[in-house]
């Protein structure tokens, strides 16, 4: 839901720009608030910033399942929803009123989402962060690998990813104590996905691809330095962290997974299903 929300916000944020010069004071307040909100979102979610071509935060990888980040993000949604209540909707027209309504709808939905415990089940067989990061590291995804700075930025992102992995394991342990766990069948498939990333020769690894594809115009010194740092990061951070996940899932988590596959089998599962399917979304 998060990236869909961002795309919606981005769309009406930019579509409303041409009307700024001729709008009322309430419209100016709304658009000023949206601009401020957009900047705060980019700081919270640097991967999204990279996705839309904003390189200011290319050296960051958000730990979005961590309590600190979750509290900060919810604080942003709460703060802007409160600010929105200070804008008189009746004095808005056209695109501005649509922006107001859409922002209210999505922000309320984001806040409601914190009632559930997705951060306690951060690993799945589909497009989870572990799979996404491998794609990101391949050089064929969102993060650019065209300049030396791009390469150095991603090394910093690797540091952020290792924090995310440690948090994932900690959260999954909390989830097992609460009975909030993934289906066994999904985790069995996830093990094979992680194992496929841990090839013996790091030079054949997806994580080494940016080194293999390093631009020819990099200096010899930069090539040598980056090759060394990426090789070290693969062997001392990425492989160990993916192995940590693999070992934890296989040895500790898998025995505690559930045989059921439906959300109704977990705490607040039916309510969460209604929320994610759109049947219990906040109404304007």
φ, ψ of residue 183 in degrees (nearest 5)? -65, 145
Rounded average pLDDT over 107-119:
93
* Residue 68 token pair: 């600190």
Give the span between the Cα atoms of 83 and 86, in whole angstroms. 5
What pLDDT sits at residue 182?
95
Of 52 and 269, the one with more pLDDT: 52
Reported pTM: 0.86
pLDDT of residue 13: 52
Q: How many residues does the chain have?
A: 284
Q: How confident is the model at residue 266 (pLDDT cuts 50, 70, 90)?
A: low
Q: Between 17 and 65, name the one with better pLDDT.
A: 65
The residues pairing with 34 across neighbouring beta strands, listed in sequence order, are: none
Return mean pLDDT, the chain.
Answer: 89
Residue reference for tokens 């990813």:
161
Quote the Cα angle for 3-107-93, to 5°.
105
How wide is the angle at C-alpha 50 spanned by C-alphas 145 and 110, nearest 5°? 150
Is 127 or 124 the better-scoring residue by pLDDT? 124
Q: What is the pLDDT of residue 3?
A: 43
pLDDT reading at 271 higher than 80: no
* CA 18 vs CA 15, 82, 139: distances in Å: 7, 26, 36
**In the 8-state DSSP scheme, what is residue 54?**
-
Encode pLDDT of 209-243 as tens digits: 999 999 999 999 999 999 999 999 999 999 999 99
Please say if the pLDDT value at position 15 is more than 90: no
Helix (H, G, I), strand (E, B) or coil at 258: strand
């Amino acid at each position: 839901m998060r990236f869909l929300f961002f795309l919606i916000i981005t769309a009406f944020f930019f579509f409303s720009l041409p009307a700024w010069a001729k709008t009322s004071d309430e419209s100016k307040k709304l658009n000023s608030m949206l601009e401020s909100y957009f900047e705060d979102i980019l700081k919270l979610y640097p991967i999204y910033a990279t996705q839309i071509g904003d390189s200011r935060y290319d050296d960051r990888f958000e730990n979005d399942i961590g309590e600190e980040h979750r509290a900060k993000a919810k604080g942003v949604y709460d703060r802007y929803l409160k600010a929105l209540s200070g804008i008189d909707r009746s004095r808005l027209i056209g695109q501005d009123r649509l922006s107001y309504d859409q922002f209210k709808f999505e922000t309320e939905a984001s806040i409601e989402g914190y009632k559930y415990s997705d951060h306690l089940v951060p690993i799945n067989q589909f497009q989870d962060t572990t799979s996404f990061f491998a794609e990101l590291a391949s050089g064929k995804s969102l993060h650019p690998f065209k300049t030396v700075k791009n390469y150095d930025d991603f090394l910093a992102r690797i540091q952020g990813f290792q924090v995310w992995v440690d948090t994932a394991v900690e959260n999954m342990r909390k989830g097992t104590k609460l009975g909030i766990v993934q289906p066994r069948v999904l985790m069995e498939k996830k093990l094979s996905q992680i194992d496929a990333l841990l090839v013996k020769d790091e030079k054949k690894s997806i994580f080494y691809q940016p080194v293999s594809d390093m631009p020819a115009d990099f200096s010899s010194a930069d090539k040598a330095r980056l090759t060394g740092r990426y090789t070290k990061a693969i062997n001392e951070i990425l492989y160990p962290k993916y192995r940590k996940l693999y070992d934890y899932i296989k040895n500790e988590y898998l025995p505690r997974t559930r045989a059921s596959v439906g959300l109704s089998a977990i705490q607040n599962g039916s309510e969460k299903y209604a929320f994610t399917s759109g049947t219990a979304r906040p109404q304007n």
